[in-house]
Amino acid sequence: MDTETGGEKERPRDDEIQAFHNQIRAADAEKLEFVGDKEPLSVLEDEYKAGSAVFLAKLQILKENYGSIRRARGDGNCFFRSFMFSYLEHLIVTQDEAEIARVEKSIEICKQTLIDLGHAEFTFEDFLGIFVEQLQSVIQGKETSISLDTLVERCRDQYVSNYVVMFFRFVTSGEIRRRAEFFEPFIQGMSNMSVVQFCRSSVEPMGEESDHVHITALSDALGVPVRVVYLDQSGDINDKPVTVNNHDFIPEGMDTSVDPYVILLYRPGHYDILYRRENPANVEPTILEQKN
């Protein structure tokens, strides 16, 4: 980056650096599907056995309300990927056709936003189309209906999965720019970038990681509430009872007491999908374990 100190001759070209980054990332990513299988939350205990006490204490608290996790690949798209699967899975389970009709209206507004911002429709319509296709196929009893297993397959398929992620990135970028005044202070709190620069460098390209700004924008634009549960090192186990922090992203105009069904587990730098316990009766043994 520094033109003065590093003889330019030794510096690899940008495309070479990029190719190398991609190579590392690709090798890493292939160890895990875009979205994994549903696993009991106890797999995290094994993972953190030797880890921090705060983590383990928080995990015990999590287990009171949440039973399973589904991992997303750590390729920088994990928020969008988790959102996609969690939302579509919710629809396939609930068969909530009214919600699909509602979100399709939101998508129309997102489309208009992108056009108003000067994007040619053909630059995003394929991506939009793939998402709408998934929405329409989760309702059962039609020729195009798909099972949960097929949904998993599709969310693991590079074409479908990446197209939906890309569509969410467009929607997120459009929403941030449409409400630039609202998002500007948050963006400037994190970086020196303008709203447009932020969207160009941290939202629109694949593989750029997400944070509060992205989640707020996508949740607002699609009208889908999202809960993020934080499993991090904050808090001191010796100090006071450890608590697990949640943050609910409630779209503008929605009742704030709504209970989000898209629930994501955040560990620093990464999002996975979290599931509520299916059988709350199992809570007790967990609490006992914790006390022992």
Partner 1 sequence: MSTPSRKRLMRDFKRLQHDPPAGISGAPQDNNIMLWNAVIFGPDDTPWDGGTFKLTLQFTEDYPNKPPTVRFVSKMFHPNIYADGSICLDILQNQWSPIYDVAAILTSIQSLLCDPNPNSPANSEAARMYSENRREYNRRVREIVEQSWTAE
Active-site residue numbers? 75, 78, 270
Nearest to 263 by CA among 271, 255, 274, 254: 274
Closer Cβ to partner 1, 119 or 277, answer by number: 119
- Which range in 120-128, 257-265, 274-282, 283-291 contacts partner 1 by CB under 8 A? 120-128
Which of 52, 112, 123, 282 is close enough to bind partner 1 by CB under 8 A?
A: 123
Binding piece for partner 1, criterion CB under 8 A, among 24-32, 117-125, 218-226, 258-266: 117-125
12, 18, 104, 191: which one binds partner 1 (CB under 8 A): 18
Strand stretches in the chain, DSSP E:
35-40, 66-72, 226-230, 245-249, 262-267, 270-276
Distance between CA atoms of 92 and 135, rounded to whole angstroms?
9
Stretches 37-45, 165-173, 251-259, 277-285: which one binds partner 1 (CB under 8 A)?
165-173
Residues in the chain: 292
Q: Check residue 210 for interaction with partner 1 (CB under 8 A).
A: no
Among 12, 21, 40, 140, binds partner 1 (CB under 8 A): 21
Closest alpha carbon to 64 in 276, 291, 292, 240: 276
Interatomic CA distance for residues 276 and 131, integer angstroms: 25
Beta-bridge mates of residue 40: 68
Q: Give the separation between CA 188 and CA 261, rounded to whole angstroms.
A: 30
C-alpha separations of 11 from 3, 24, 57 in Å: 10, 19, 47
Distance, CA of 124 to CA of 29 (rounded, Å) = 26
Q: Does 166 bind partner 1 (CB under 8 A)?
A: yes
Q: Does 120 bind partner 1 (CB under 8 A)?
A: yes
**Residue selected from 170, 183, 249, 261 as contacting partner 1 according to rule CB under 8 A:** 170
Q: Does 191 bind partner 1 (CB under 8 A)?
A: no
Binds partner 1 by CB under 8 A, chosen from 137, 161, 173, 216: 173
**Site for partner 1 contains 115 (CB under 8 A):** no
Q: Does 38 bind partner 1 (CB under 8 A)?
A: no
CB of 11 to partner 1, least distance (A): 9
**Residue 178 touching partner 1 (CB under 8 A):** no
Residue 87, classed as helix, strand or coil, is helix
User: Shortest gap between Cβ of 16 and partner 1 (angstroms)?
Assistant: 10
Q: How far apart are CA 277 and CA 292, in angstroms?
A: 22
Report the distance separating Cα 227 and Cα 82, nearest Å. Answer: 12
Provide CB contacts within 8 A for 254, sequence distance 6+: 223, 225
Residues that bind partner 1 (CB under 8 A): 1, 3, 8-9, 13-15, 18, 21, 119-120, 122-124, 126-127, 162, 166, 169-170, 173, 200-201, 204-206
